[in-house]
Structure 1
Amino acid sequence: MADTLSNDDGLPLTSLYINGTYRPASTSATFPVTNSYTGRIVGHSASASSSDCVEAVEAAQGAFPAWESAPLAFRRDVLLRTAAILEGEEWKEKAMRALKEETSSTEGWALMNVLSGPGSLRNVAGMVNELKGDTFPSVNQGGTVFVHRRGQGVVFSIIPWNGPVTLTARGVAIPLICGNTVVCRPSEYSPRIIGLMVDAFHQAGLPPGVLNFVPMSRDESPTLIQQIIAHPLVRKITFTGSDRVGRIIAAEAGRHLKPCLLELGGKAPAVILEDANIEDAARSLIFGGLLNSGQICMSTERIIVLRPALSALLTSLKTHISHLKLGSPFEPSNHLSALFTEASAENVVRLLRDARDKGAELIVGDATREGAMVRPHLVVGVRPGMELWERESFGPILAIAVVDTVDEAVELANDSEYSLVSSLWTTNVHKAFEVGSRIRAGSVNINGTTMNSEAGEGQAGLGGSSGYGKFNVENFTDRRSLILHAEHESYPFMGLS
């Protein structure tokens, strides 16, 4: 099992998983995992060495030919059995505990992760229906072209901490259903919960070597990630996380001419037109902006409101914020808990103070923190030129810009290098489509939260700091052609007929 007891303090110890076997690091190295709310160590993880990483890549390559050629129904059924395991009470209980202990997830956010996991895996299992080829006549007289989709090889997938169940289902299961094998590096902040996902794949009968799991300490990660990317057997890299780290990974992959799929963040705008249903919009903004303390790539980070709607919107937002409960992730009634590190909390406070110093007004909140805890903030007058407008905050902030025209609202919505998701609020369906089509984002949710990802579409923006590519069949398979030539083909320019 991925989750065992250590001999020293009785806390959970997460193991490596290589070639179908759970094991410690070859150097016996481990690293601690700390709960950001209590500041206490809640577990330990094996920390992979260089030789462990090489072994994981080689195991994945060794398993690739058989996995790629396995019947589609076999690959599908492994994922369906994994989904069933995630629905078991024993797995859910372990996962809920791990989410709260490792990432300070509240009861609500932990439940959303755990309950969405089985559905995410079943959606991925259904992608077998997209693994189809094509047939058409060749440009060569009498020939026929057969195009089929094949796996690409070993995929190196780096999984974040903030939505570990659904993002593991995406970053691991989609490459797997497409016939690839995977080396998975979990966030050092959440190795146990991602290890529990790996364990579910193992219990479901995933063949040895198809999925390999190499947690590593924060200090060792830069060198080891560089080594894995450089390994000649690794064909593709996926990363979900900050654009700062994404740029480093993309540059390293570029050195070896290896493709990357990057999802790097968001600065999602919510545009509130003057005819919007203000109460519905406010409820959506509270959910989209403050769920998991704003630590989600689809969080509502910028609220752009037409001036006539401002007063009613502020009144509703303040009312809803006043009802939120903050505190320990182990208290089920709390809506918000600590951010994932004190450093993240300090960055959020810094952004708030910078905005205040440049003219924004703090309607709710005082730009302070208690350890890793930051209370919800409602800020009015945020504008381009403020760092809070430019950079993803990853914190519990509702930042409002006030405009006088729809054109100005669209211009501000598009004034970002992030283009992941957005939302638009209006009761006029014609205006919704006219204005929505002008907002540059991967998706525009009309009268709905930015916290939405349609199954099968693949979550991704339009490039830049939101990343590149989509988690779908197109991005994890190669289209290869078999060209059947006619018998006795002639080569006239060489005098051959």
Structure 2
Amino acid sequence: MTALACARITYKLHRHAAVFCGQGVRWASLLRQEGYINGQWVQAMSGKDFKVTNPANGKTIASVPDMDERDTQVAIDAAYAAFTSWQATTAKERSALLRRWYDLVEANKEDLAILLTQEAGKPLSESQGELNYGSSFLEWYAEEAKRIYGEVGQSQSKSKEIIFIRQPIGVASLISPWNFPNALVTRKAGAALASGCTCVIKPAEDTPLSALAVVDLAHQAGFPPGVINVVTASRTNTPGVGKLLCTSPKVAGISFTGSTAVGKLLYEQCASGIKRIGLELGGNAAFIVFDSADIKTAVEGLMVAKFRNAGQACISANRVLVQDGIYSKFVEAVKAAVGTELEVGDGLEKGVNQGPLINDSQLKRLERIVGESVAAGAEVVMGGGGHKLGGLFYQPTILSGVTQDMVCFKEEIFGPVVAITRFKTEDEAVAIANATECGLANYFYSRDISQAWRVARKLESGMVGINEGLISAAEVAFGGIKQSGIGREGSRHGIDDYTYIKYLCFGGVN
């Protein structure tokens, strides 16, 4: 971090918190190095921990408990016991706590953003954007808590009255990913808590600090013990922890965001208990640019949809399809934008807007995808390899002449690589876009209103951005179809995964 950035952040003292700032160490109240179970900050029963490192420089930021199934069972038991009283709280009481949590996040956004940048590597400006996004879910569900309505049905019998009410399902296991370690905790927990559920949160092993920090603020907001719990675990212990979160008879449902492969495994594990499940899995988004599109606007949209978090987003534009009539102009425009607008480096440095990849596994995977695609005939317009900064940094890359059989089209890239192919007709573009097992998001650009309606309806995905590259918000129903998941997060529909409908039949009323 620059001296200027250090100087403008005021840190609070806490004996368990240390954060690297240049060559010195400052104490920060929001950097927790314990798990959170039943309202207490605790170490792993085994006494073991694991390190959390900054992907920009490989330095250790902190160590957190390496919890296993025993710790997880304690957390589940705490959530299960707390559910008895938490489900009986009024919507107004839950709303007030969520609003208090939101206010505390808003008051601590700068500290949270710096912590997020250090553990996730994303530029500080993006971390600040994620904090705004994440807190918006707490605000949204503070309001939605008071709008979980039932229904009155019309009976065919004069002696009966029919009522449907919604009730919380119970304990919810929330497994969040590393790429949005703040927002995907608040998105899940906000909905669960608003519904009257208690929860056990398992953050990704690469980025547990943001989850712990935001839950620290929930603790300060006054949530009762056991209502929110956080279990941290290394890669070694994660499979066992995840399995227990899916199979425990005390867990009523699970929400997971991550890879399709892991999602399938968790889905299978939940089957034994017939759990309620919400899955937001991998994507392979098409970004279609029709001849009628405004090229400048389309390029601006692509820069957002592709390079946010260095391309490490489930809704990142993966397959760029450009119609023949503007193909050459569009490729040149993208090249110019990438060459002038992206500054790669440590996310805490001024002017940087693309950070490193999260870990070595992601770097090697990206190198394989680009290498195999180039070997198959893709042309490197720019970039194509590791950045001069070394480490986990990768050059912003453009590949043209890509075909559907290349690995960069078949697999989710999850990195700062634009893969461009050309098409002739609208039907061809739609067919290419739909030729995937994924169905999370798609994007297209067109100034033809009739075409906009036709294509939007034909694209097989849960979300479609039309002349827009940024589609996430608290008020939208976020989720996919096909192998991209089950259920929706955000909007009023985010409550659905955490409530069930109870039918009440009143007889003898006439």
Shorter-chain TM band: over 0.9
Indicate which of 258, 264, 279 corresponds to 1:241.
Answer: 258
The alpha-carbon deviation at position 176 of structure 1 amounts to 0.9
Query: Is 1:335 paired with 2:360?
Result: no
Give the gaps of 5 or more residues in structure 1.
Answer: 489-497
Q: Residues of 1 paired with 2:154 and 2:17: CA distance?
A: 63
Aligned to 2:495: 473
Q: Which of 452, 457, 476 is the aligned partner of 1:437?
A: 457
Residue 366 of structure 1: how far off its partner (Å): 2.6
Structure 1 position 153 matched with structure 2 position 170: yes
Residues 114-134 of structure 1, C-alpha deviation per residue, up to 9 Å, x if partnerless?
222322211122222431111
The residue that corresponds to 1:491 in the other structure is none
Paired residue secondary structure (1:318)? helix
- How far does residue 162 in structure 1 lie from its aligned partner after superposition? 0.9
Q: Can you give the 5+ residue segments of structure 2 that lack an aligned partner in the other structure?
A: 1-11
Larger mean Cα displacement after TM superposition, 329-338 or 153-162: 329-338
Name which of 167, 178, 181 aligns with 2:198.
181
What residue number does 2:506 align with? 484
Cα displacement string for residues 91-114 of structure 1 (whole angstroms, at most 9, x for unaligned residues): 223212211211111122111112
The one-letter code sitting in structure 2 at the alignment partner of 1:245 is V
Q: 1:259 aligns with which of 276, 299, 307?
A: 276
Kindly provide the amino acid, as one letter, of the partner of residue 293 in structure 1. A
CA deviation profile, 1:300-324 (whole Å, cap 9, x unmatched): 1111110111111112111111121
Structure 1 residues 55 and 128, CA gap change in structure 2 (3 angstroms): same
How many residues matched? 483
Residue deviations 1:52-78, cap 9 Å, x none? Answer: 211111111111121111110111111
Match of 1:78 in 2: 97
TM-score, length basis structure 2: 0.91
Change (3 A) 1:304 1:2: farther
| Mapped contact 2:162–2:504 kept (Cα < 8 A) | yes
CA distance in 2, matches of 1:149, 1:300: 37
Q: 1:310 to 1:342 in 2, by over 3 A?
A: same
- Shift, 1:196, TM fit: 0.9
Q: Structure 2: how far apart are the matches of 1:461 and 1:136?
A: 31
Q: Distance in 2 between matches of 1:156 and 1:318?
A: 43
SS in 2 for 1:437: helix
Q: CA deviation at 1:383?
A: 2.2
Counterpart AA for 2:212: G
In the alignment, structure 1 residue 230 sits paired with structure 2 residue 247: yes
2:133 pairs with 1:116: yes
Q: CA deviation at 1:140?
A: 4.6
Distance 1:320 1:4, change over 3 A: farther
Residue of structure 1 in register with 2:419 after alignment: 399
Task: Find the aligned partners of 1:104 and 1:358 in 2 and give their Cα distance.
Answer: 32
Alignment of 1:127-138 (within 5 A): 127-138=144-155
Match of 1:284 among 301, 311, 321: 301
What is the DSSP-based 3-state SS (H/G/I as helix, E as strand, rest coil) of the residue aligned with 1:69? coil
Q: Residue 351 of structure 2 aligns to a residue in which SS? A: coil
Deviation of 1:141 (Å): 4.3
Q: Secondary structure at the match of 2:78?
A: helix
Shift of 1:6: 6.9
Correspondences of 1:4-403 after superposition (within 5 Å):
5=16, 13-88=32-107, 91-323=108-340, 324-368=342-386, 370-403=390-423
Relative to structure 1, the CA distance from residue 5 to residue 454 in structure 2 (aligned partners, 3 Å threshold; closer, same or farther) is closer
> What does residue 5 of structure 2 align with?
none
| Secondary structure of 2:481's aligned partner | coil
DSSP-derived class of the 2:87 partner: helix
Aligned mates of 1:3, 1:123 — CA distance in 2: 31
Q: CA RMSD in A?
A: 2.0
